Amino acid sequence: MSFIVVGTGSSLPDYVITNEDLSTFLETSDEWIRTRTGISKRHILKDETLTSHAVTAGRRALENAGVLPEEIDLLICTTLQGDYISPSMACLVSKELGVGSGRVFDMNMGCSGFVFALDMADAYFKNKTIKNALIISAEKMSKMVDWSDRKTCVLFGDGAGASVLTQGEGVSGIKLMSDGAWENLHVPGEGGNSPFNETGAPESYLFMNGKEIYKFAVSRIVKDINEILEEENLTADDISYFLLHQANTRIIESARNKLGQSEDKFPTNIEKCGNTSSASIPILLDEVNRKGMIKKGDRLVLSTFGAGLSSGACIIEWKI
């Protein structure tokens, strides 16, 4: 016994920054950003909390699933960092939603978080410990990037996506990878003011070596997907949609070409959301679900990659 996905939800900040807006304070242009990333705009937090979007995404997923909050016996929030380092985002979201279990916690696996959380939920379902799980991925990337660094701040956006899982047989081939190669993508921890600290206060901004991450991403996506398809005796032609982490349109295009699949099987929302880290796949899943693009029996591949370096992929069979 594992799980099936029965509901999805998402929530994005109202405030939108376009590439033109960025070009008013950065030496960049709409054309430069679009041709290299596919991004036109992104949603950015202003006066609201990230927790509020996590709660809204979770509530929408529960409503979509027809599952009550008190029926949820596992809540995992994936985030690089919630509004508080402690308590966890899951504690705050659980109270707001009225989740009926204390089995709530956060998980940080960078952009790969959502697929890692599915793997964790899968273990609970297999163990028959739980009947319903809620996974919420929420990220406030705008508070982690250096807004004077045109190479990184243009790439990211804020938002939250959520999925409700219930008992069933709808996931297979979950594959996770991490290699500890942190140098090319990381956000330093905060320094504090310990008088005993001899390491110096780090600049707490996201750092990314774009070229190395591009190479890692394309090669991992193709390798992970080919491996899980082979393990499940499937081919890429058996898959209705490939939902890839939305980091860069050109990464998606390169992987698509190497997998030999048509463009319509790779839905994207990076144009309007940017890279929302672990929230990107559940936000996209909610979008394709609500557009009615997925039919019962369709197989979806989720494939992600990020800091760690890490990657994750799985096959979801749509059962509703």
Partner 1 sequence: MAEKKIIEILADYRGVDPSTITKESTFEGMEIDSLDIVELLMTFEDEFGVTIEMNEKFKSVGDVVTEIESLMA
> Which is nearer to partner 1, 15 or 214 (by Cβ)?
214
List phi, psi (to 5°) of 291.
-75, -5
For the bound state, the minimum distance from the C-beta of residue 209 to partner 1, rounded and expressed in Å, comes to: 7
- Say which of 43, 77, 91, 245 is annotated catalytic: 245
Task: State how far Cα 127 lies from the chain centre.
Answer: 25
Residue 38 or 69: the one with the smaller Cβ distance to partner 1 is: 38
DSSP code at position 232: T
Give the residue among 184, 266, 172, 264 at the shortest CA–CA distance from 217. Answer: 184
Which position among 273, 275, 289, 314 bears the catalytic label? 275
Cβ–Cβ under 8 Å, residues 50 and 1: no
> Quick one: 8 or 248, whose CB is closer to partner 1?
248
Q: What CA–CA distance (Å, rounded) separates 197 from 85?
A: 20
> Per the residue annotation, which of 77, 111, 153, 314 is the catalytic one?
111
Concerning whether 245 is annotated as a catalytic residue, the answer is yes
- Any catalytic annotation for residue 273? no
Q: Which residues bind partner 1 (CB under 8 A)?
A: 35-36, 209-212, 214-215, 218-219, 248, 250, 254
CA distance 204 to 191: 8
Judge whether 111 counts as a catalytic residue.
Answer: yes
- Name the phi and psi angles at 53, rounded to 5: -75, -35
Minimum CB separation of residue 267 from partner 1 in Å reads: 21
Tokens representing 17 are: 């920054």
CB of 212 to partner 1, least distance (A): 5
Which one, 143 or 250, has the nearer CB to partner 1?
250
User: Would you name the residues annotated as active-site residues?
Assistant: 111, 245, 275
